[in-house]
Structure 1
């Protein structure tokens, strides 16, 4: 386990996460504001194996963790912590059936605490402007908008948020 919240466990991905990971990464609604690209089962298996292998790589700068509900140990989404040589970025995705339960706010709030404990000084998040729910979460957690632009991959207006920890 990496850290936990009242209702959630954040842990490393494992191969038996493949089925729910595939559900997550093959749902166009989940990916609408992310990559926009759904993948087939084999592509998702390759990606999952790559993400798992990264845990042991020296100087890894791309951490994707599983988000699991404590009550039933169900995989419900992923949390990303990404270093791009300038900023430490937070990102998350949830299976559609778990939307609207406050999990996004809960995991983001706990990630801020976790990052403070790790000595991280600033977190950023990139949110497509149409994604009102994610923008509300970051604003509620005191992230501030620092830039507006058109995303390279999905060509939609996007905002960069940051919080100083």
Structure 2
């Protein structure tokens, strides 16, 4: 377990998660808000989990499972990409069946506390410009829109914690 609150548990992904990861990342509607194309076969999910394990070992990227405690369902993933010892980029992917139920706010609040405990100070997130619910969420949480030209299809938000 990485962290938890009353509603959610954040833990490392395992090979046992492969079917749900495939389901989440092959959903074409949900993937239009993410930076990668939808998975086309289960092998891509297997490869993703292997890569996640390698990245955690070498400290380049941390992708965790988001578990809804009441049902014990894996509902999405949370990504932390360290930039420096104090700065990181984050991303959250929640399955379409769990949209607009308050899980985005729960996950972001829980993980910001976790990142603060890891002594990160500057959090950055990229959000596709058409992803209005996520934009509203980060603005509600007091993330600040910053100018960027590197990723034209995304807005870039930051928070100092």
Report the TM-score, using the length of structure 2 for normalisation. Answer: 0.91
Gap change, CA 1:135 and 1:145, over 3 Å in 2: same
Per the TM alignment, residue 150 of structure 1 is displaced from its structure 2 partner at its CA by 6.7
Q: Contact 1:5 / 1:107 at 8 angstroms: preserved in 2?
A: no
Aligned length: 159
How far apart are 1:125 and its partner, in Å? Answer: 0.7
Match of 2:155 in 1: 159
Structure 2 match to 1:146: 146
Number of the residue aligned with 1:72: 71
Partner of 2:134: 134
What is the alpha-carbon distance in structure 1 between the residues aligned to residue 109 and residue 2 of structure 2?
14
> Quick check: 2:129–2:155 contact (8 Å CA) kept in 1?
yes
* Alpha carbons of structure 1 residues 132 and 149: separation in structure 2 relative to 1, 3 Å: farther
Query: 1: CA distance between counterparts of 2:117 and 2:150?
Result: 33
Q: Deviation of residue 108 (structure 1)?
A: 0.5
Superposition CA RMSD, Å: 1.6
Q: Is 1:149–1:159's contact at 8 Å kept on the other side of the alignment?
A: no
**Unaligned residue ranges in structure 2 (runs of 5+):** none
User: Which residue does the alignment assign to 2:100?
Assistant: 100
Q: Shift of the alpha carbon at 1:149?
A: 3.6
Deviation sequence 1:111-155 (CA, Å, 0-9, x none): 11111111111101111121111011111111000124473xxx6
Q: Which position in structure 2 is the counterpart of 1:43? A: 44
- Give the TM-score, by structure 1 length: 0.89
**Deviations 1:74-128 (Å, cap 9, x if unpaired)?**
1110000012349401101111111111101110011111111111111011111
**Aligned equivalents of 2:138, 2:148: Cα separation in 1:** 15
1:18, CA displacement in angstroms? Answer: 0.6
Distance 1:15 1:26 in 2: 17
Q: Secondary structure at the match of 2:65?
A: strand
Which is further off, 141-150 or 22-31?
141-150
